[in-house]
Amino acid sequence: MRPQTSLLMCPPDFYGIEYEINPWMDLRRPADPERARAQWRALHGTLTETLGVRVELLTPVKGLPDLVFTANAGLVVPGRFIASRFLHPERQQEQPTYEAWFRARGFSIETLPEETCFEGEGDALWLGDTLFAGYRIRSDIRSHQAIAAMLGCEVLSLELVDPRFYHLDTCFCPLDDRRALYYPPAFDDYGRRVIREFVPEPIAVNDADALRFACNAVVVGRDIVVQSGCDALEKTLREHGFTPHPVDLSEFHKAGGSAKCLVVWIPSRDDRSVPSVLE
Amino acid sequence: MAMVSDTVELRGHIIDSLILPKVLDEIMTLGGTFEIVDLAVGHRREDPSRATIRVTASDADRLQAILSRIGQHGAVPVTGEDARLVPADLDGAFPDGFYCTTHFDTWMSREGRWIAVERPEMDCGIRFDPATGRAETIPMHKVRRGDLIVVGHAGVKVAPIDRSPERSVFEFMASSVSSEKPKAVVIREMAAHIKTARAAGGKVLVVAGPAVIHTGAGGHLERLIAAGYVQVLFAGNALAAHDIEQALYGTSLGMSLDAGMPVDEGHEHHLRAINTIRRVGGIKQAVEKGILRRGIMHACVVHGVDYVLAGSIRDDGPLPDVITDAVKAQDAMREKIRGVTVGIMIATTLHSIATGNILPASVKLICVDINPAVVTKLADRGSFQAMGLVTDVEPFLRALAEHLVPAMSHGVS
């Protein structure tokens, strides 16, 4: 049997707010470990039981509170793992753990030039054959050039301008080949023009939903796992024929992440959603 | 005025992602002009394009500002070109056209490799040592004939200038400096950042003026020193002299700090204090002999705080510890800032500016003064990580000490 597309997640055993590297983090607003565990289990359950997604687990490591945010591990394409180069020293320590996991499963580990920063699927999302990539807050644009060369695909670089939306996956979410959610104020004018030009049906998310991490959703076919309480967005998704699956991930918002930040896709070669340029 | 120019290259999907028009717009917005020397457009969508752009500006500062800015969008001085090294032809001066540094992280290219420039400091040059393969900033006066100095912009790159860690709080404070801000909140934030810096092993530098003593705030600073929240102190003769005057006579500039009244013969106290220290050879000796038993300088000696006292033209004495050669004082300060991650500048303008000039951009600055103009000037000195507060020194230090060293606590070890 050929391997199926799966997700990688990391249980939040050692998750907590131990430093401040984005505007959401505040050492005086610690995460509740019990609630965080329950919320993470609910997300895991929705993905595995309700939606039937295969989820692999990474063993948590003490002292690496953000290892739960596996989206930032790197960018995974069939058989290859392009490892992140984190901006902050706090998160650079996560890298060996991710690399070891992928190496042990036979992926070729590919590294970016030393002077670049790149934070994985947090800043790189596929829409069709095009990789949309965020830069300037965490990843830098030169990492995009390197990835375009490695994968032989088009990479559209979008500048992120609001520190609250510091990764592309906090303000942009491809739904299928034609549609993507996006929060316009998180981009500059050029970025908004690029989205309107290259996404046939862009769907703008309102302020209230965006600040609830509406764009940080996990898309499984027509099913969208999204933070609960994003009422306007849920209605819009239904109108477009999608089924929202709300989960509450408020404990992870304290670190600046929600559903999408907690998973990274491991696409298999036979997955129809894998960009054709990678085949 | 002579125009200056440099050539940059932009690669990638720069047309579809509108990066090329953005870079060209930014060049013009910042007052420069451009010429597209070469443009190779990819044939298929997935093929990258490449643009070679000559950027021209009225002066080197403006060109540097433009290059820093467009560097964030991926425009880099033409690749394959090493930094140009020219041997210094004189002691104490750079070759003409030397690369003038910023206080941001900087790299120079050498045989196709990027070498990090050690000790980022603004307004210096870059010296490359072929024996060790290392590059470092060097102030003008330290140049020796034969030193290899980087000339021109080619082969030099500067790190993205903002979006630094923990930016949010500092950004919030740097947005403007106003006496209307809720001081308690601001000071609490400052205390939290000092704690975080210490927990991470960073050193805290305090730059303080004599108003700390005159306003009766010396005791608060002493508490912070004793509790391990200060590792380096920069000041002038006045702070140390009045601190010692207070320790020996209970007055500051002849005013009783307890009664708030001038005392008889009080105007002589600071001179007698300085003389006492000069008679034993220095502050450390006075502490060792049991002459100096309290105060900030006493605390520095007892707790191993590194201090640099820099002289000025109006100093009395001065104390033997004061470095009266301004250039030597700068060099002494440069040595002591290694490992500093937070700088607190209190009620001093020139010392604070001098310190701001030598600190890398990664150091967070906390600037406190009663004069809004001073705080603005310091907070705006090119640092994206400055918090400013307009207030009197005494309540600031009292509140800070209260947050970091609550009265019942014995502080950090």
Using a CB-CB cut-off of 8 Å, the residues of chain B touching A156 are 13, 16-17
Test A145 with B165 for CB contact under 8 angstroms: no
pLDDT score for B300: 97
State the count of interchain CB pairs (< 8 A) between A and B: 88
pLDDT score for B220: 96
The type of residue at A157 is: S
Test B18 with A140 for CB contact under 8 angstroms: no
pTM above 0.80, yes or no: no
Test B12 with A144 for CB contact under 8 angstroms: yes
Q: Each residue of B199-226: pLDDT tens digit? A: 999 999 999 999 999 999 999 999 999 9
pLDDT score for A233: 96
Test A154 with B73 for CB contact under 8 angstroms: no
pLDDT score for B176: 46
Q: Each residue of A229-274: pLDDT tens digit? A: 999 999 999 999 999 999 999 999 999 999 999 999 999 876 656 6
pLDDT score for B178: 52
Best residue in A114, A127, A154, A161 to probe B by mutation, most B CBs within 10 Å?
A154
pLDDT score for B408: 56
Q: Are strands B364-369 and B386-390 parallel, antiparallel or unpaired?
A: parallel
Each domain of chain A, given as residue ranges in start order, spans 6-278
Average pLDDT of chain A? 94
Q: Each residue of B242-275: pLDDT tens digit? A: 999 999 998 887 777 777 778 877 788 999 999 9
Q: Each residue of A184-217: pLDDT tens digit? A: 999 999 999 999 999 999 999 999 999 999 999 9
The lowest-confidence range among A15-29, B31-45, B288-302, B371-385 is B371-385
Active site residues of A: 167, 261
Test B168 with A140 for CB contact under 8 angstroms: no
Which residues from A are below 8 Å from B when comparing CB atoms?
Answer: 19-23, 27-28, 87-88, 114-115, 129-130, 136-138, 140-142, 144-145, 148-149, 152-159, 163, 188, 190-191, 193-194, 197-198, 277
Helix-strand-coil split of chain B, %, nearest 5: 35, 25, 40
Which residue segments constitute the domains of chain B, with CATH numbers given? 1-79 (3.30.70.2690), 80-161 (2.40.420.10), 167-404 (3.40.50.10690)
Q: Please determine, for residue B316, whether its predicted confidence score (pLDDT) is greater than 70.
A: yes
Test A155 with B21 for CB contact under 8 angstroms: no
User: If you measure CA to CA, which chain A residue comes closest to B157?
Assistant: A115
pLDDT score for A135: 97
User: If you measure CA to CA, which chain A residue comes closest to B195?
Assistant: A27
Cβ-in-10-Å burial (0-12, 13-18, 19+) of B185 comes to exposed
The lowest-confidence range among A159-163, B122-126, B178-182, B235-239 is B178-182
pLDDT score for A1: 31
Architecture of the A6-278 domain: 5-stranded Propeller (3.75)
Report the complex ipTM: 0.90
pLDDT score for B362: 81
Q: Please determine, for residue B163, whether its predicted confidence score (pLDDT) is greater than 60.
A: no
pLDDT score for B103: 85
Q: Each residue of A41-84: pLDDT tens digit? A: 999 999 999 999 999 999 999 999 999 999 999 999 999 999 99
| CA pair distance B135, B85, nearest whole angstrom | 11
User: If you measure CA to CA, which chain A residue comes closest to B15?
Assistant: A156
Which of A141, A156, A163 is closest, CB to CB, to B167?
A163
Best residue in B17, B25, B26, B113 to probe A by mutation, most A CBs within 10 Å?
B17
Q: Please determine, for residue B166, whether its predicted confidence score (pLDDT) is greater than 80.
A: no
User: If you measure CA to CA, which chain A residue comes closest to B18?
Assistant: A190
pLDDT score for A207: 96
What is the mean pLDDT of the segment spanning B173-186?
62
Using a CB-CB cut-off of 8 Å, the residues of chain B touching A21 are 165-166
Test B12 with A148 for CB contact under 8 angstroms: yes
What is the mean pLDDT of the segment spanning A174-183?
96
Tell me how many degrees the CA angle B167-B168-B173 measures, rounded to the nearest 5: 100
Average pLDDT of chain B? 87
Test B165 with A114 for CB contact under 8 angstroms: no
